[in-house]
Amino acid sequence: MSGPAGSLTDMDPRIDLPLRSVNKHALSPPELSPWLRELPAVRNVLEGFEFERTTVFVGENGSGKSTIIEAIATALDLPHGGGSDWERRDHAEAPPELSDHLQIIRGASADRGGFFLRAETMHENMAYLLDVGSIRGRQYAQRSHGEMFVDLLTGRFMGLGLWILDEPESALSFTASLTLLQLIRERQRNGLQTVMATHSPILARAEGAKLVEAGEWGLRESTWEDLDMVDHWRRFLDDPQRYLRYLDD
């Protein structure tokens, strides 16, 4: 039996998400750069996109998944070079243009603490920690790139309400990828939110995730088994020569 209107039983289960949805900001600049306008995935996001507790974007290079992830992180006031919402430092790149066009909708009871991981700027983040004399930075300097990733995420950032991860698999071995997958699963079970862009079929297998495939069609929900990425990896591992012979033509 359902409860009275407005009761807890009728409440949106995503009310506690730091990032519930995104759409076009009413006060956004009048124009997007042509290359952004031509990305179907960007157009779909501006039309409105709903997030779940774990949301994973996959797709080929150039499909727009990292463009979207980076813009969302910046619109959430996370450092666009990567880091937590209490770290503020200069970054060589300008903030992503798309961030000025996004309206972020947060959950009413959300934990607003967040962390943004950009694989391509991790060394810059470590250099910053070393420069300011951080003990954490000196510890990371003694670890491999992949070990540093895992140490970073299992430390003080593990309990933050929101992780935004942009292609974290770039530094991870198979085993380390499984470790990160387990961290994401634990966060899901503990009610914490993770939004990720990845090329890894391992990380895309995150439990209970909303899987979104970016491509010439824009954004479409999928199951893990139906992802193009999973199909290609399966075919390659089953018969590598099927792919390698085309490289020699």
- What are the extents of the domains in the chain? 17-121+160-247
pLDDT the model gives residue 121: 60
37's tokens: 């306008």
pLDDT the model gives residue 159: 84
The Cα 237–Cα 243 span in angstroms is 10
pLDDT the model gives residue 2: 47
pLDDT the model gives residue 40: 97
Nearest-Å Rg of the Cα atoms of the chain is 19
Whole-prediction pTM value? 0.86
| Greatest C-alpha distance within the chain | 68
The Cα 69–Cα 71 span in angstroms is 6
pLDDT the model gives residue 9: 45
Low-confidence residues in the chain, pLDDT < 70: 1-11, 85-92, 109-112, 120-147, 249
Exposed e or buried b per residue across 182-212, where buried means at least 16 C-beta atoms within 10 angstroms of its C-beta: ebbbebbeeebbbbbbbbbbbbbbbeebbbb
pLDDT the model gives residue 94: 79
pLDDT digits (tens, 9 = 90+) for 53-99: 999 999 999 999 999 999 999 999 888 877 776 665 666 677 899 99
pLDDT the model gives residue 8: 46
pLDDT digits (tens, 9 = 90+) for 37-57: 999 999 999 999 999 999 999
The CATH homologous superfamily to which domain 17-121+160-247 belongs is P-loop containing nucleotide triphosphate hydrolases (3.40.50.300)
Sort residue 11 into left (φ over 0), alpha (ψ -120 to 50) or beta. Answer: beta
Q: Rounded to the nearest 10 degrees, what angle do helices 145-154 and 122-131 cross at?
A: 70
